[in-house]
Amino acid sequence: MVLRTVREKKMISFKQFWTEKTLVGLGLGQFLSLLITSTGFSSSELAKKGIDAPTSQSFLNYVLLTIVYGSVMLYRRQALKAKWYYYVVLGLVDVEANYLVVKAYQYASITSVMLLDCWSIPSVMLLTFIFLKTKYRFRKIAGVIVCVAGLVMVVFSDVHSGDRSGGSNPRKGDLLVITGATLYAISNVSEEFLVKNADRVELMSFLGLFGAIISAIQISIVERNELKSIRWTAGAAFPFFGFSLAMFLFYSFVPVLLKISGSTMLNLSLLTSDMWAVVIRIFAYHEKVDWMYFLAFVAVAVGLIIYSGGDKEEDQRRAGVADEDAERSKHFDEEAGCDNLNRGTMAGSSKTGDTSKHDYTTSIEGRGIVENQNIG
């Protein structure tokens, strides 16, 4: 009997851990991670062909967002749920975050960029705690630690295999990465707030519009000569437009994951993009990788499961607290109703007593008058 109870408890906890929300969050997070991996390979192919125009690559993505989601918004003809200047600031932050992180690869080693890019995770947790009042339990923090430990294993694997380049200016590259990761955190937290309080279509429309305007201004200043020197062949156009399409899909599904699991889960899921890149290197390019990559992939996967699991238990706990409050309020209302009913009954009894007393007095007086008449 005891063993059966223990098994039933384990089955219940397992069902609470593997909820539909958890599975959707994990699956969508890995889909976004694969999209980021494809953008990385597209950028590397463009770099091999001598094309270095990160803002121009992002510009086409913002144009697609404006056309697709702007059309839907015009069809709806709804009023704005957030101030337009919020989207201006968000577009500026997003464009510069993409530019700074890509630019950092010119000055710092790839391992330094990978390690310092993790700065976005504690930044997101701090910003959501301050502005969105998100409370992280010990399980969430443990999942983040396991994920970051897995990424550190990737860095050590690069060092162990000798795949490390010093970079022309490591300090400048590190500063660019830290600044870009901080801007990524601000962008993700802002998007999470707008998705949960405004509208996803409105967010994508104005992010695309102002992102395209800011990118166009930046291209005209920074990358104008680079665009003139590009020879638009099929080999150059295919990765360029492939990058833009992958970024469009990434931006389209990011708000969905933000609404389901939050910005911290998004940044943790993107940590596996380096691991998916390793898988592509193994099967597509037939390259050999260090054994620590596989251990790191397992660590990040376990950390994601720890972080995202058990949401149903928390929802049930919150629902239980709400039910207790409702039951308590109902109990207080019933007590108040009983008190009012008792007071009404006592008042009615008093009035009835007064009326019967008045009728009794009237009957005595009437009887006296009749008797007097009889005597007369």
3-state helix, strand, coil in the chain (%, to 5): 85, 0, 15
pLDDT at 345: 44
pLDDT at 216: 95
Ramachandran sector of residue 310 (left: φ over 0; alpha: ψ -120 to 50; beta: rest) = left
Provide the total of helices (H) and of strands (E) in the chain, helices listed first.
15, 0
pLDDT at 164: 46
pLDDT at 348: 46
- List, for residues 94-129, the tens digit of each pLDDT value: 999 988 887 777 776 655 666 667 778 788 888 888
Cα–Cα–Cα angle for 102, 190, 302, nearest 5°? 70
User: At residue 269, what is the residue type?
Assistant: S
pLDDT at 305: 77
Domain ranges of the chain: 20-317
pLDDT at 349: 42
- List, for residues 138-157, the tens digit of each pLDDT value: 888 888 888 778 767 766 66
Can you tell me the distance from the alpha carbon of 140 to that of 144, in angstroms, rounded to the nearest whole number?
6
Can you tell me the distance from the alpha carbon of 5 to that of 1, in angstroms, rounded to the nearest whole number?
6
Query: Could you state, in chain order, the average pLDDT of each consecutive group of 10 residues for the chain (376 residues)?
Result: 48 55 83 86 77 85 95 90 93 92 72 68 85 81 80 65 57 84 91 88 94 95 85 83 91 90 80 73 70 75 73 46 47 49 45 45 42 37
- List, for residues 36-52, the tens digit of each pLDDT value: 888 877 877 777 777 77
pLDDT at 166: 52
pLDDT at 334: 53
pLDDT at 183: 94
Burial of 89 (0-12, 13-18, 19+ CB in 10 A): middle
pLDDT at 362: 43
Per-residue DSSP letter, 288: -
pLDDT at 72: 94
pTM of the model: 0.68
Q: State both tokens at 343.
A: 């007071």
The sign of the torsion formed by the CA atoms of 259, 265, 266, 269 equals negative
